[in-house]
C-alpha cells in the first residue's frame, strides 16, 4: 500500500494517526508493567541481588523469559483488544492497514516479535516513525499496522 493510499483510507475511515508522544508514553507504561511482573515472578532472584551488576547478571540470565513475556503481552492484547494497557490509558489503538480493524493473531504476532527485537536494539526501529508520514515504526510497517487515536 502506498503512502497516499493509506492516507486517503485513514481520512475516509475517520482515523487520525496517533502522535509520537502518546506512543512513547504508551510504551513506557507497558514496559513498566511488564518489568514489574517479571520482577514479581522472579522476586527470589532479584531480592538476593545486592548491586546493580548482580541485577544485570540476573536480567541477562532471564532474557528469554523477558522476551517471551513481552511478546505474549503485546501479541495477545493487540490481537484481542487492538491495544495494550498503555494504549488504553493513552487512548490509542493498533489497526490493520488492510481491514482497518484490530490486527488478526498472525499480524499481531509478527508486529510483537519485531517490536521486541527493536526494543533489544535500542529502539532503532522506532526511529523510522520520525520519518514515516503516519508515525509508523518498523514493527508497524512489517506488521502492516498503524497506530491511531481511539475515539
pLDDT in tens, 107-146: 999 999 999 998 888 788 899 999 999 999 999 999 999 9
pLDDT in tens, 14-70: 999 999 999 999 999 999 999 999 999 999 999 999 999 999 999 999 999 999 999
Please determine, for residue 79, whether its predicted confidence score (pLDDT) is greater than 80.
yes
pTM of the model: 0.90
Please determine, for residue 95, whether its predicted confidence score (pLDDT) is greater than 70.
yes
**Where are the domains positioned within the chain?**
3-149
Q: Give the dihedral of Cα atoms 134, 147, 150, 21; nearest 10 deg.
A: -80
Q: Are strands 92-96 and 145-149 parallel, antiparallel or unpaired?
A: antiparallel
145 forms beta bridges with 96
CA angle 8, 19, 17 (to 5 degrees): 20
Annotate 17-66 with DSSP letters as a single string: BPPHHHHHHHHHHHHHHHHHHHHHHTHHHHHT--SHHHHHHHHHHTHHHH
Amino acid at each position: 500500500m502506498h503512502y497516499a493510499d493509506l492516507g486517503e483510507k485513514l481520512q475516509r475511515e475517520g482515523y487520525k494517526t496517533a502522535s509520537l508522544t502518546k506512543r512513547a508514553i504508551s510504551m513506557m507504561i507497558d514496559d513498566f508493567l511488564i518489568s514489574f511482573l517479571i520482577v514479581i515472578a522472579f522476586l527470589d532472584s532479584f531480592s538476593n541481588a545486592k548491586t546493580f551488576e548482580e541485577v544485570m547478571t540476573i536480567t541477562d540470565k532471564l532474557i528469554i523469559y523477558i522476551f517471551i513475556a513481552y511478546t505474549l503481552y503485546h501479541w495477545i492484547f493487540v490481537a484481542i483488544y487492538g491495544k495494550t494497557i498503555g494504549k488504553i490509558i493513552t487512548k490509542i489503538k493498533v489497526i490493520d492497514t488492510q481491514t482497518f480493524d484490530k490486527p488478526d493473531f498472525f499480524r499481531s504476532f509478527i508486529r510483537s516479535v519485531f517490536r521486541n527485537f527493536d526494543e533489544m536494539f535500542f529502539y532503532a526501529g522506532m526511529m523510522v516513525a520520525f520519518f514515516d508520514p503516519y508515525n509508523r515504526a518498523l514493527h508497524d510497517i512489517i506488521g502492516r499496522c498503524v497506530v491511531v487515536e481511539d475515539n
